[in-house]
Structures are given as structure tokens and as C-alpha cells.
Structure 1
Amino acid sequence: MVAVTNAMLPLLRRSAAARIVNLTRDLGSLTLASADENFPQLLAYNSSKTALNAVTVAYANELRSEGILVNAVSPGSVATDQNGHAGLLTTEQGARLPIRMATLASGGPTGIAVTADEDLDHHLLAW
């Protein structure tokens, strides 16, 4: 993710509306993990998403002055091969929030994480 982002930065810097949207999960939230003793302990997966969240914040801080918005999105429980298609959302529904964040207006939020539920509405995801 870092290698790809760094490779794309020269192109993003030439764009009038550059956006970076990283896909995360609530499983990467340290806030949620520390508040719930029954939080799923998928060590490698959770740790990788927590690291992705930290890198998202680092890029947001680094690129803020250039107007490049960097955010993380948890699209919700999407039916995919990874979960045996047991998710609540279709892939089309799951794509809505990442697309919304990729097309934010200039001056939109940066350095945040958002998530969606079955209602397809979004709300902040605690880091």
C-alpha cells in the first residue's frame, strides 16, 4: 500500500482533485478493540488494518497542505469470497462509500475513517 501510494504521488500531485481512499475495517480500530473483551482477535488481519489506519493518518498530515484528501473507509459487511458471501451488502452497495470518499469536494475531510452499515449511511469510525 505504501509502495503503490508513493509511486502514484507524482500523478496525484498534478491532479486538481487528488484523493486517496484506503479500505479498512472496524477490526483495525484500537478504540473498539480496547472497549470490548469479545472483540474478534484476528491478530494478523487486525494488526494490518491498524497499521493501514496509522499510515492513512500519516499521509493525510503530509499531504493536507497540498489539498490531497486521504481517508480510510470500511465499506460495511459486504458479501465477498472472503466471508463466504455471508455479508449484508452487495458489492455494488459496498462500493458506494469508497466512491463517495473518492469524489469529495475540495476542502472535504481528510485523516478520518468512515464506515457504513446496512442503511448505507456513513458515520465516523473510531481509530
Structure 2
Amino acid sequence: MLTTQYAKGLPDIRVDAADPGYTATDLNGHSGPQTVTEGTDAIVALATESPGSGSGRFVDRTGEIAWS
């Protein structure tokens, strides 16, 4: 929820959060079900969005996730 507060407080800057998911890396002994490339999907999608895209969002590789 800190993301939404930053988004409100900094209206000229887009602030979003990305969840890479459980990704197979050295940190977890490569036990994650997705590859590192799959884990970067959400981050790359946010980084390549147009300037007019929303702010204060939480996304994973499949799209926007509702804040709970």
C-alpha cells in the first residue's frame, strides 16, 4: 500500500509495484516453477509502458492485481 501513497503524493511520477512471482534462482535452489525470464515479465512490462499509463498499481506477469 506504500505504492499507492507514493503515487498520490508524487502525481508527476508514475509509481508501481511488481511481483516477479516464485522464480527459480540461486536464492531458492532453483526450486521456483518459472524461469528468470518469466520472472522479469512484469518488470519489463512496467518499464516499457507509455508515459500516460496508470500509477499506484500492483502487477504480476499476467497483469494488474487488486490490493488486498
Would you call these one fold, judging by a TM-score over 0.5? Answer: yes
- Matched-pair identity in %: 34
- Partner residue in 1 for 2:65: 124
Structure 1 gaps, min length 5: 1-53
Residue matched to 1:103? 48
| Residue aligned with 1:86, SS | coil
Larger Rg computed on CA atoms: 1
Give the letter aligned to residue 81 of structure 1. Answer: D
Taking the TM superposition and a 5 Å limit, the aligned residue runs for 1:58-73 are 58-64=5-11, 66=12, 68-73=13-18
Q: Tell me how large the CA RMSD over aligned residues is.
A: 1.6
Q: Quick one: higher RCO (CA 8 Å, sep 6+), 1 or 2?
A: 2
Over residues 49-103 of structure 1, what are the superposed CA-to-partner deviations in whole Å (9 max), with x where a residue is unaligned?
xxxxx33222111122x1x211001012211122221111111121121011122
TM-score (norm 1): 0.47
Count of paired positions: 68
Partner Cα distance (1:91, 1:61) in 2: 32
Unpaired runs of 5+ residues, structure 2, are none
TM-score (normalizing by structure 2): 0.79
Q: Does 1:87 align with 2:32?
A: yes
The list of structure 1 runs, each at least 4 consecutive aligned residues, that deviate by more than 2 angstroms after superposition, is none
Richer in helix (by share): 1
